[in-house]
Amino acid sequence: MTARAEFQIAPWELRWCGFDLDVLPDIESIFALSNGHIGLRGNLDEGEPVGTPGTYLNGLYEHHELPYAEGGYGYPEDGQTIVNVTNGKTIQLFVQDAPMDMRYGRVIEHEHVLDFRTGTLRRDTIWASQTGRSVRIRSERLVSFTQRAVVAIRYEVEPLDSDLELVVQSDLLANEAVAPPGSDPRLAAALDRPLVAEFAAAQKRSAVLVHHTRRSGLRVASAMDHQLDNVPDNVCTVHAEQDLARMTVAVDLAKGDVLRMTKFVAYGWSSRRSTPALRAQVDAALAQAKQTGWDQLVARQREYLDAFWSHADIEIEGDVELQQAIRFALFQVLQAGARGESRPISAKGLTGTGYGGHAFWDTEIFVLPVLTHTMPEAAAAALRWRHSTLERAKRRARELAHRGAMFAWRTINGDECSGYWPAGTAAPHVTADIAYATAQYVASTGDEQFETDYGAELLVETARLWMSLGHHDSTGQFRIDGVTGPDEYTALVDNNLFTNLMAQHNLTEAVAVCARRPVEARRLGVTAQETAGWRDAATHMVVPYNPDLGVHEQSESFTRLAHWDFARTPPSSYPLLLHYPYFELYRTQVVKQADLTLAMYLRGDAFTAEEKTRNFEYYEALTVRDSSLSACGQGVLAAEVGHLQLAYDYLVETALIDLHNLHHNVSSGLHIAALAGTWMVCVAGFGGMRQRGTELTFAPALPNTLHRLKFRILWRGSCLAVDVTAREATYALQGGEPMALTHHGQPFTLGADPVTLPLPEPASPPEVTHPGNCAPYRRA
Amino acid sequence: MTARAEFQIAPWELRWCGFDLDVLPDIESIFALSNGHIGLRGNLDEGEPVGTPGTYLNGLYEHHELPYAEGGYGYPEDGQTIVNVTNGKTIQLFVQDAPMDMRYGRVIEHEHVLDFRTGTLRRDTIWASQTGRSVRIRSERLVSFTQRAVVAIRYEVEPLDSDLELVVQSDLLANEAVAPPGSDPRLAAALDRPLVAEFAAAQKRSAVLVHHTRRSGLRVASAMDHQLDNVPDNVCTVHAEQDLARMTVAVDLAKGDVLRMTKFVAYGWSSRRSTPALRAQVDAALAQAKQTGWDQLVARQREYLDAFWSHADIEIEGDVELQQAIRFALFQVLQAGARGESRPISAKGLTGTGYGGHAFWDTEIFVLPVLTHTMPEAAAAALRWRHSTLERAKRRARELAHRGAMFAWRTINGDECSGYWPAGTAAPHVTADIAYATAQYVASTGDEQFETDYGAELLVETARLWMSLGHHDSTGQFRIDGVTGPDEYTALVDNNLFTNLMAQHNLTEAVAVCARRPVEARRLGVTAQETAGWRDAATHMVVPYNPDLGVHEQSESFTRLAHWDFARTPPSSYPLLLHYPYFELYRTQVVKQADLTLAMYLRGDAFTAEEKTRNFEYYEALTVRDSSLSACGQGVLAAEVGHLQLAYDYLVETALIDLHNLHHNVSSGLHIAALAGTWMVCVAGFGGMRQRGTELTFAPALPNTLHRLKFRILWRGSCLAVDVTAREATYALQGGEPMALTHHGQPFTLGADPVTLPLPEPASPPEVTHPGNCAPYRRA
């Protein structure tokens, strides 16, 4: 167990004081900056010491071979993995010949501050060299939300005790040494110096480097320019070679004077554009950034975030650390998705190389609900990215002998990258999840253009997959056999309840969109017979239920499997997948992550309240939460069935997953979906918000530990604020048309005036138990 | 589709006339010689041209890494693969400077003869060099059944037109160039020059080389010595270096004179013995071979085979090609198993590198029944080999969180080598199959010593696995969930009928052996409570049945899966696994190989006659026979339910699988289990022989195409001959005590006098259908 970084608690920022080399890799992920297009790990300005140097461009990947001990038809042969591109954030300092390095000399003061309102990362260090020369280094960096190709850094150094000779080197550095992910020598080979130099140039205080990736052939250009206050040109030199461009400033600085430098970095990449075209692109981005200037870049970053928080903030009373964690989570979700545009939102955002930089179903089920209700244009962009992979998904379906579209389980470019088919190819629920997010987005925003251009086709092609994957048995029931649901401790089962209910929803939404958009339906070749088939399959979808136990089955026969022997499973044997074979996990009643429980949230309409209570109780006792995707779904259902304190515990767990490093792997990147789950527990859990098509309902309730919860959502162009206390809830519209809502089953219309409604008495559901060692996280 | 080798039909030999380079790789497998310890592919004496050079020692393997795109707990990391060891069979000839090579000059006559009675491979070639010098080359080689470390070759060359200068080179050659199996570069690297030279020496006409394998560290010694008639010592030179030892004879030979050379080769290998010890071992084997001499080696080979055929031969009337194929099959099964002793009988015997030289469940279910009834000491040896891996099997069970012994799905040294766990680790029926063969062997032979020393422990430790893998559900039924049965187009299912019935048998036999052998049971820690648990589990074993269809289910819910769309599956899409993903194969009613059908043979007592008829009809229509292990099981059941002509077709298919190259891969080795299946269809199919414990029953019946079938089996020390014609069957005892038998349900006692009994009228079962393109093979 490694040490954990400690942060000062504050409502709008994350502050790390002191310096501990052991937690530096974690800090780099937690303090990552991103606009969804460019991602910078929170590496120190001076480049070293470093856990993992990280500069990422969304969608820029390298190919590597996927090896198999025994191959099979349809196994993906090419993997994709995110590449650490040219590092433009490094600024090295030499104090009287000594390199400024936090490992040597003495760190007198140090703090890192991630500011959720300014969208910048600030650093403030007082450091003395081994010969006792002390300097103060302050820097502030941002990845611009408003100019997506641009990074800007303000860097200041000040001699504290005496006049000093200082040298500052500002670099673009390609092909940094990176520890290989995992033990596969082929993957390590693919990622060893992945960038091939094409072009380098420098002049005055600027430089540009162009590279392409060795196997995937993607071209990337990076450029930098600098502004220096009160420094004559003749102290600056600039140089560029294949993998390095460097501007050097050598100055004598008097004690108390400050050398201030502003560095602008721009990135561009493309699979098609030429080296001159990409160079022109980054030059233009730099010119625009300089024209805007540091102060305006900072001001616009703040404006962008002010606008975001004004309709996205969640306020709580009663837990200041949780308040901080909630805002951290929302900020990181925003960073992951804000300007991704035609690129995926990956499981780690752009904060690390975990999962190879791949996007999973995390995006649609966990992240997009947040964006749909707080930054709908980002949700639309993410869905347009999925749509851009539709041809690949259709090709994949055909390759696997199916019709319609079968989206990749994990991918960067849309092609399947899963090297373990029972938990990849065999998990088609990702396709229904995409359809679900599509339908929810359109209903929530009323974005008709999106539905016409993208949504209808997504719903139709995904519906076609289910008709191909499923079949009517001799009694007319519609079965989907041999698939894997969300729970990765169960695989290749018949009629996974989550999959079947999500497929049912997909089919129903496809019928509806074809009725709403007959022109598009015709263009897509949909016939009345086809929609009748969809309706029929949806109507007769198998929903496994065990009448003896009175609970639904996660999949057919699941409740007849042996129970996992939790009593004999020591705490050190979690996560189970590192200590037991899939063979054993699959054949027993042990659940890695919310599956049926998550279905009860997403498809709550398919269950009665009593069924939810019984099912929740049954599956809580089986769920070990070895996946970070679990706690939030459990939290929502816990709140719904009345386990408010348990829901609170799950909220804490999902909100603190990275700040408290609960999965011991934050160094490889943040758990963006779990962070998005923070919103889910607040809004859908304690707010009880459910969206069924264009119908919006609430059923707020708070645990004793929270005195107040206030959240805002965007809904069909309006911003709705919900303010919940122990006894009542107040709904208020921040502009827009009056809307019909439901409060604990009671319909009402909300106009310009806020409406306050009382909360019912909380339910008293039966106690639930958790597997040994699997109770929710509680802070010390 | 490649050309197919044509053979002359004869009852006791296989003769290939002419020469066709295209089929040479197939010929090399078909004409392989082996005694179960040493295997030689039927490579030409002169070494080239060659398909795959092959000299194998049973159990001698090299390690190689098993790679995974996504690893998992319990995945085997080390593979094993059979190694081509030092080639001692090469004898090159130079005719007036020209190398004798079948690709150059002119092949005037050529034939290869595999003689099933002499156990030798004869070659007779008349060849003319490019300059028109013609010679006759005759050779005969044997791998001795009586001296298991010894290979002997008689080699003759005769100038036909004129006096000739000839040079003969007789080699030991290590690290021959071999085409890598498959595309895995790591496997190719492991097999590239796998032998590291340790020692080389030569004197007079003999030489010895010692090597060890690079990674597995197994040491192998090979030695050769030569006898030459009428050749002075001074024309012979001998030389040895690291990877080559060579004896050279340079002579002037008059037209009509014959140069005759006898080459003796001996092999020894060990994981522990030193180089001097292994050298001594092969020197001793050579000395013994020379002392015996060529003529006596040949004579003893003949005696050995005469004894085998006297109680193993199967005679048929009505199909001369099939008669030849039956004897070829029996001969190859004998070659695979005769002298394996403490080593496995692998799927390809020692005829090629297919499946890496691994042993599977093929051994126990297909091969051991033949050996148990024709060469029981070989069956016992094969089971002792399994017993020798028991500690590894127990360790594997513990690694996978289970008790008892879990035998490897595929292995050479006993450790699991399967790189695809859903069809390897997840197929524990191999463990029940081993128990089945153990119980059958003991009951058939009455070998009490074997039971005491090995059998009891095998049955107890395997029974313990089932108690660990299975569980009683809330109704008391004993379930075995999440396993894979024989059908490799279905995986990770609940209550595979084959597995459950074989596990039931395993538990029952374990109870019985503990009752018979209380001392051993105590030694193994078996308590009365434990055996009661076994009995209870066996009694309540789930046997899936669909009452609506009136058929058993291959696994629970199998009959509710979608049917494979055979109508839309073109003939070119077989075998299906090369054209469809497992994902699709697993989730539909398509059967690769007899599974439930095979269970109806091995556990026929668990079904009524009517159930067998209905089940057979149902599963015939789903079974595509993409596995070579299928036709024989289908043939046995076809005969039992009265489809005698269909059974005949399956007999033809399994018997000709390699001679007609039906699976297009005979070049990588023979299908030993399918060849053993030839015996199964004759004896268990048309002979209707079933063994239930120590009870032996027959129900003979012949198809119209066969006028007579005569087979012999060993049974508790006696040899029983059964002679079946269209109307009656005659049972005769060749010595031994009178025995109780059953003929078509009618018990009788067979003493010294033969008993002739009439056959009942054949049944008329309902027609069966086969999937498109999957009717049994029929000769043109």
pLDDT of residue A1: 45
Cα A553 to the chain's mean position, in Å?
Answer: 30
pLDDT of residue A189: 77
pLDDT of residue B1: 46
Cα A160 to the chain's mean position, in Å?
Answer: 42
Mean pLDDT of A12-23: 96
Token pair for A430: 């990702």
Cβ separation of B70 and A420 shorter than 8 Å?
Answer: yes
Token pair for B401: 């969180």
- CB < 8 Å from B in window 424-453 of A: 425-426
Cβ separation of B581 and A400 shorter than 8 Å?
Answer: yes
Q: Among residues B28, B488, B530, B553, which one is catalytic?
A: B488
Task: Give the gap in angstroms from C-alpha B212 to the nearest C-alpha of chain A.
Answer: 25
Residue A66: its chain B contacts at CB < 8 A?
Answer: 69
Cβ separation of A583 and B421 shorter than 8 Å?
Answer: yes
Which residue in B72, B79, B587 is closest to A482 by CB distance?
B587
What distance, in Å, lies between the first and last C-alpha atoms of chain A? 16
Token pair for A692: 């069924």
Task: Give residue B277's identity as a one-letter amino acid code.
Answer: A
Cβ separation of A582 and B557 shorter than 8 Å?
Answer: no
Q: Binding residue per annotation — A385?
A: no
Mean pLDDT of A620-639: 98
Token pair for A190: 């693919």
The CATH T-level fold of domain B313-723 is: Glycosyltransferase (1.50.10)
Kindly tell me the burial class for residue A146, based on how many C-beta atoms sit within 10 Å of its own C-beta (0-12, 13-18, 19 or more): middle
Contact B661, B669 (CB under 8 A): no
Q: For residue A354, what is the DSSP state? A: G
Cβ separation of B560 and A494 shorter than 8 Å?
Answer: yes
The CATH T-level fold of domain A321-725 is: Glycosyltransferase (1.50.10)
Hey, is the C-beta of A482 within 8 angstroms of any chain B C-beta?
A: yes
Domains A13-296 and A321-725 are alike in CATH topology = no
Mean pLDDT of the residues in chain A: 96
Give CATH for domain B13-310: 2.70.98.40
- CB < 8 Å from A in window 242-301 of B: none
Rounded Cα distance between A165 and B118, Å, is 96
Task: Give the gap in angstroms from C-alpha B561 to the nearest C-alpha of chain A.
Answer: 7
- Per-domain residue ranges for chain A? 13-296, 321-725
Task: Give the gap in angstroms from C-alpha B70 to the nearest C-alpha of chain A.
Answer: 6
pTM (2 d.p.): 0.96
Task: Give the gap in angstroms from C-alpha A34 to the nearest C-alpha of chain B.
Answer: 29
Nearest CA-CA partner of B57 in B266, B243, B327, B251: B266
pLDDT of residue B762: 85
Task: Give the gap in angstroms from C-alpha A356 to the nearest C-alpha of chain B.
Answer: 12
What φ, ψ does residue B255 adopt, rounded to 5°?
A: -50, 130
Give the helix, strand, coil percentages of chain A, each rounded to 5. 35, 25, 40
Categorize the per-residue pLDDT at A50 as very low, low, confident or very high, splitting at 50, 70 and 90. very high
Q: Binding residue per annotation — A362?
A: yes
Cβ separation of B421 and A582 shorter than 8 Å?
Answer: yes
Nearest CA-CA partner of B429 in B392, B469, B378: B469
pLDDT of residue A183: 64
Rounded Cα distance between A263 and A277, Å, is 23
3-state SS class at B509? helix
Percent of chain A past pLDDT 70, that is, above it, reads 99
Q: For residue B365, what is the DSSP state? A: I
Instruction: Name A527's Cβ contacts closer than 8 Å, sequence gap at least 6.
Output: none
Residue B476: its chain A contacts at CB < 8 A?
Answer: none
Interface confidence (ipTM) of the complex: 0.94
Rounded Cα distance between A492 and A484, Å, is 5
Categorize the per-residue pLDDT at A179 as very low, low, confident or very high, splitting at 50, 70 and 90. confident
pLDDT of residue A423: 97
- CB < 8 Å from B in window 73-92 of A: 73-76, 79
Contact B277, B94 (CB under 8 A): no
Residue A488: its chain B contacts at CB < 8 A?
Answer: none
Which residues of chain B register pLDDT less than 70?
1-2, 181-184
The residue count for chain B: 780
Q: Among residues A488, A530, A553, A640, which one is catalytic?
A: A488
**DSSP β-ladder status, B562-563 and B588-589:** parallel
Cα A196 to the chain's mean position, in Å?
Answer: 30
Q: Output the CA–CA distances (angstroms, integers) from residue B534 to A172, A451, B189, B468, B679, in the order listed.
A: 71, 62, 47, 11, 33
- Phi-psi category of A80—alpha, beta or left, where left has phi over 0 and alpha has psi -120 to 50? beta
The CATH T-level fold of domain A13-296 is: Beta-galactosidase; Chain A, domain 5 (2.70.98)
Mean pLDDT of A571-588: 96
Q: For residue A777, what is the DSSP state? A: P
Contact B484, B427 (CB under 8 A): yes
Q: Output the CA–CA distances (angstroms, integers) from residue B580 to A15, A402, A435, B775, in the order listed.
A: 54, 10, 26, 20
pLDDT of residue B179: 79
Strand partners, B202: B207
Instruction: Name B525's Cβ contacts closer than 8 Å, sequence gap at least 6.
Output: none
Among this protein's residues, is B488 annotated catalytic?
yes
pLDDT of residue A181: 66
Task: Give pLDDT tens digits for A180-205.
Answer: 766 667 777 778 899 999 999 999 99
Contact B445, B372 (CB under 8 A): yes
User: Hey, of B65, B70, B75, which one would you mutate to test binding to chain A, going by the most A CBs within 10 A of its CB?
Assistant: B70
Residue B482: its chain A contacts at CB < 8 A?
Answer: 561, 583, 586-588
Q: Chain A: residue nearest B586 by CA? A: A482
